Amino acid sequence: MTHIHHRDHLVVIGNGMAGCRAVEEILARDPHRYKVTIFGAEPHVNYNRIMLSPVLAGEKRFDEIVINDRSWYLDHGIELIAADPVTAIDRAAKTVTSKAGRTVSYDRLLIATGSDPFIIPVPGKDLPGVISFRDMADVDAMLAAAAQGGDAVVIGGGLLGLEAAHGLSLRGMKVTVLHLMPTLMERQLDEAAGWLLKTALEGRGQTIITGADTAEIVGDGKVEGVRLKDGREIPASLVVMAVGIRPNTALARDAGLAVGRGIQVDDDMVTSDPAILAVGECVEHRGQVYGLVAPLWEMCRALADGCTTGCTGYRGSVTSTKLKVSGIDVFSAGDFSGGDGTEDIVLRDAARGVYKRVVVKDDRVVGAVLYGDTADGSWYFDLLRKGEDISDVRDALIFGQAFAAGGGAADPKAAVAALSDDAEICGCNGVSKGKVVATIQGGACTLDAVRGSCKASASCGSCTGLVESLLALTLGDDYAGARAVKTMCKCTSFGHDDVRREIVLQNMASIPEVMQKLHWSTPDGCASCRPALNYYLLCANPADYVDDQQSRFVNERMHANIQKDGTYSVVPRMWGGLTTPQELRAIADVVEKYDAPMVKVTGGQRLDIFGIRKEDLPAVWADLNAAGMVSGHAYGKALRTVKTCVGSEWCRFGTQDSTGLGVKLERGFWGSWMPHKFKMAVSGCPRNCAEATIKDFGVVCVDSGYELHVGGNGGIHVRATDFLVKVGTEEEAMHYAAAFVQLYREEARYLERTAPWIERVGLAYIKARVVEDEEGRDSLASRFWFSQQFAQDDPWEQRAAGADRNLHRPLAEIRPLPAFEGA
């Protein structure tokens, strides 16, 4: 008599990668343990969802991405119920019911429902032509749309969105990617790598808009475009939503299982019901939800062990991401957010478009980001996963496994001596070793001389060490040594002047671009270099550069001065020290409404409101803006005050209308960012009541015109101004002021006031540029007024400026009266 073994019935909800992989793992351990039935929502066999992107791009066919074909189900006696999703679980009866009304009983149930795409709840989200990117049906819909051509918008700059954009672009559509965050793939990439990826994708013809907040999807009966909250509208006949995924927990929740962010499971992947298992993207294990394949495979192995042989269970996963986005190699692993106790080791190769960053803590790798060259990703991930001590290879770590295994770098002089004469030293400018040596032998005995003669190390600076080694080798004892350059900060070997020069020469447009091309040794810079770079870029390209908020000091972000008790002081602008009843009432109302404990008349002839709480600042500025008052920039590296006396209109000694000229100067120069704070004054006569001769730019009125003075300041070390020139009209005074300010803006180092700047470059140089060179003066003034056109359009300014749009008009339109005029 043959004994027939009863097999438990395992019902699997989900015919995707996790569900079928779990079945494979169980079959590998005990092929006769279960009778298996699999329900699938799609009319397909199990396929590799990760490979949908190559199908969209035309690189693969569907049959090439199938994991388990029909024969697999037949060979293992698995019943596949396709295109019929389960709609209910009855835990008491131990049955599941499908959409078609089929009811099947189970002994053990495995939920592998995966995740659902998140659809942002904006008007128009249900219009025809709005789709997600999650399954073959979505791919078929995109292919049908691409066949018609036209414009596509992909909302979401994560991996899935970028792959959708790449595929649609290859299919001939004009693609725009909208991403809410400032960095593409921010979960996998830091700012530097995200910028490189954005630049590369734009080079492939895509339009990438970061910081893009979708307001609505527009169209009459079908998709016609996407409108952003800032008013921009992008045309589109197809909109792909790829903003993220959420664990599909609806079935489990309805069945009364424990659900948090996902279906909660233990280390054996068992839910709160011992008869029900769950695996894949739908589960939450020890508070974590995973959306990558590697953790899913580890879950499936743990589940199969628990169902058959018993095991130690699933302990969670350390994840890494290694992928190609539009043919670009990207890798990330672990925690690259930095923080206390961590150290960043960074390598940047601008010519090859390579960026590598390894985050180390307590002599162990805790995170890594690689862009462009990911060959060592597996090595870094192994070091991270095992928590190995890397102190022995610390200096060679960033150069990769092969280099580290070789014991690191040899003596640099010996290494450069071994190079052949045709070996390239400077990749940016194509300069060989032989040419550098010949340049040195020809009389270039310093780094600057070599840079000036043959351009070696004059661009990105990464070959500076090689050039200095060649100087030492060629000159021997006659070499004076490496030049002493005061660098911007610890992040770079470049000084302020070098950075400003390269920003202009290479037409750089963003902080990450500067850091990549000039080989910054940190991933994102520091509190010293970021504000400086932000200013240099803003000065070099006022029309297009977008001010970077995270690179501003706290006072500039808050539009107020922080005080020692943590409250803020607010200083609205009073043009030339003049005010009106309307302004005084507005200030009084703010003081009462927000319980400000003190109001003080400042030395700059305006009122300072103290004791404002941080959370009240937006409302305070809204109230002041409503009365026509704008920020006095008492916190900014910008024009602070224009001090005036009453001048000829009231004073018996006054020779000119000093108050009127002061108002013109303040209205004309307000909002212009500068290397440091900047103060002006206009005195109506040589008695100098406005103290014009200790200001950055001062005007002393005399009977025959206006004497212009520059480079003064009060403070710890009082410095009287230097006389610049005497002019005959207000228009000339404004013109010379614009030229002087622009020269200061373009050539001073960040946080360098006019006094030390003039002492460094010499008054003769300032006069030569501003007074003696008429054409140069006109050019400087023209550039200043050009930049002022955009200062008021800057979103950062708008938040502090309210509705006033009359602050940067041409000189002929600038009125001497301080009254506010609405837009």
Rounded CA-CA distance 260/278 in Å is 13
Residue 395 has what pLDDT?
A: 87
Query: What kind and span of H or E run contains 471?
Result: helix 464-475
Confidence at residue 428, expressed as pLDDT on a 0 to 100 scale: 61
Asked whether residue 782 carries a pLDDT value surpassing 60, the answer given is yes
Identify any residues that bridge with 226 across adjacent strands, giving them in sequence order.
217, 234
pLDDT higher than threshold 90 for residue 412: no
Report phi then psi at 329, rounded to 5: -80, 130
The Cα–Cα gap between 815 and 579 comes to 15
Give the 3-state secondary structure of residue 380.
helix
Write down the CATH number for the domain with range 413-543. Answer: 1.10.10.1100
Cα–Cα distance for residue pair 366/397, rounded to 1 Å: 13
For residue 799, name the pLDDT band (cuts at 50, 70, 90).
very low
Tens of pLDDT along 643-678?
999 998 888 899 999 999 999 999 999 988 999 999
State the CB neighbour count (10 A cutoff) for residue 387: 13
In angstroms, rounded to a whole number, what is the distance separating the alpha carbons of residues 121 and 533?
38
Query: What would the two tokens of residue 417 be?
Result: 């001596």
CA dihedral of 421, 424, 429, 435, whole degrees rounded to 10: -10
Distance CA 312, CA 450 (A): 65
pLDDT at residue 758 in the model: 97
Residue 671 Cα distances to 360, 627, 636, 806, angstroms: 42, 19, 9, 12
Which residue has tokens 């298992």?
277
Mean predicted confidence (pLDDT) in 436-458 = 86
Q: Give the C-alpha separation, 82 to 95, whole Å.
A: 18
Position 483 scores a pLDDT of: 63
**What is the percent of the chain with per-residue pLDDT over 90, rounded to a whole number?**
71
Give the distance between the most distant pair of CA atoms in the chain. 129
Residue 728 CB coordination number (10 Å): 10
Provide the sign of the torsion angle of the four alpha carbons 379, 384, 387, 391, taken in this order: positive
- Mean pLDDT (the chain, rounded): 89
Per-residue pLDDT band for 407 (boundaries 50, 70, 90) equals: low
639-791 is classed CATH 3.10.20.600: no
Which residues of the chain does CATH 3.30.413.10 include? 639-791
At residue 462 the predicted structure's pLDDT band, cuts being 50, 70 and 90, is: low
Dihedral sign, CA of 756, 761, 764, 770?
negative
Question: How far apart (Å, rounded) are the C-alpha atoms in residues 164 and 133?
Answer: 7
319: confidence class by pLDDT, cuts 50, 70, 90: confident
The pLDDT confidence band at residue 459, using thresholds 50, 70 and 90, is low
Please check the confidence at residue 417 and state whether its pLDDT lies above 90. Answer: no
Q: For residues 38 and 389, what is the distance between their CA atoms, to the nearest angstrom? A: 46
Contacts of residue 559, defined as CB under 8 A and 6 or more positions apart, other chains included, come to 570, 617, 621, 631, 635, 799, 800
The answer, yes or no, to whether residue 85 has pLDDT greater than 80, is yes
Is residue 818 predicted with pLDDT exceeding 70? Answer: no
CATH 3.50.50.60 domain extents, the chain: 8-115+247-307, 119-243
Q: What is the pLDDT of residue 50?
A: 87
Taking only the tens place, the pLDDT of each residue in 732-748 is: 999 999 999 999 999 99
Q: What is the CATH number of domain 320-405?
A: 3.30.390.30
Phi, psi of 799 (to 5 degrees): -65, -30
Higher pLDDT, 197 or 821: 197
Which residue, among 710, 736, 694, 357, has the nearest Cα to 522 in the 3D structure? 357
- Confidence at residue 811, expressed as pLDDT on a 0 to 100 scale: 33
If you average pLDDT over residues 613-629, what whole number do you get? 89
% residues pLDDT > 70 (the chain): 93
- pLDDT average, residue stretch 629-634: 89
102-145 per-position pLDDT tens digit: 999 999 999 999 999 999 999 999 999 999 999 999 999 999 99
Q: CATH classification of 119-243 is 3.50.50.60, yes or no?
A: yes
Work out the end-to-end distance of the chain between its first and last CA atoms, rounded to an integer number of angstroms.
99
Q: Among residues 41, 2, 37, 8, which one has the least CA distance to residue 23?
A: 37
DSSP codes joined into one string, 401-421: HHHHHTTS---HHHHHHTS-T
- Report helix, strand or coil for 607: strand
Structure tokens at 603: 């030395």
Q: Which two tokens stand for residue 478?
A: 């006659």
Both tokens of 754, joined, read: 């006019």
Q: Where in the chain is the domain with CATH 3.30.390.30?
A: 320-405
Q: Which residue spans of the chain are classified as CATH 3.90.480.10?
A: 554-626
Query: Does domain 554-626 sit in CATH 3.30.930.10?
Result: no
Which comes out higher in pLDDT, residue 808 or 88? 88
Q: For the chain, how big is the Rg over CA atoms in Å? A: 34
Whole-angstrom distance, CA of residue 490 vs CA of residue 511: 16
Query: The pTM is what?
Result: 0.79
pLDDT, residue 813, reads 35
Where residue 181 falls among pLDDT bands split at 50, 70, 90?
A: very high
- Say yes or no to pLDDT of 11 above 50: yes
Where do we find the tokens 């092969």? Answer: 402
Which residue do the tokens 């000065």 mark? 539
Enumerate the known binding-site residues. 645, 651, 685, 689
Token readout for 707 is 């004497």
Looking at residue 429, its pLDDT comes to 65
pLDDT value at 496 more than 90: yes
pLDDT at residue 567 tops 50:
yes
Among 214-223, 362-371, 392-401, 590-599, the range scoring the smallest mean pLDDT is 392-401
Q: What is the DSSP string of 564-578?
A: TTS-EEE-B--GGG-
Pairing of the two strands 108-111 and 8-13: parallel
Residue 446: what pLDDT? 87
Q: Give the residue among 305, 314, 277, 315 at the shortest CA–CA distance from 89.
A: 277
Which parts are annotated binding residues for [4Fe-4S] cluster?
A: 645, 651, 685, 689
Nearest to 201 by CA among 212, 214, 187, 185: 185
Tokens at 349, concatenated? 């190769």
Residue 36, phi then psi, degrees to nearest 5 = -115, 130
**7-16, 84-93, 451-460, 686-695: least confident range:** 451-460
Q: Name the binding residues for siroheme.
A: 689
Per CATH, is 8-115+247-307 categorized as 1.20.140.10? no
Instruction: Give tens-digit pLDDT for 229-250.
Output: 989 999 999 999 999 999 999 9
CA 356 to chain CA mean position, Å: 17
Six token digits for residue 808? 């940067």
pLDDT digits (tens, 9 = 90+) for 345-387: 999 988 889 999 999 999 999 999 999 998 888 889 989 999 9
Report DSSP letters for 543-557, one per residue. TTPPP-GGGS-HHHH
Span 749-768, mean pLDDT?
Answer: 96
Nearest partner of 438 among 463, 471, 415, 414, judged by Cα? 471
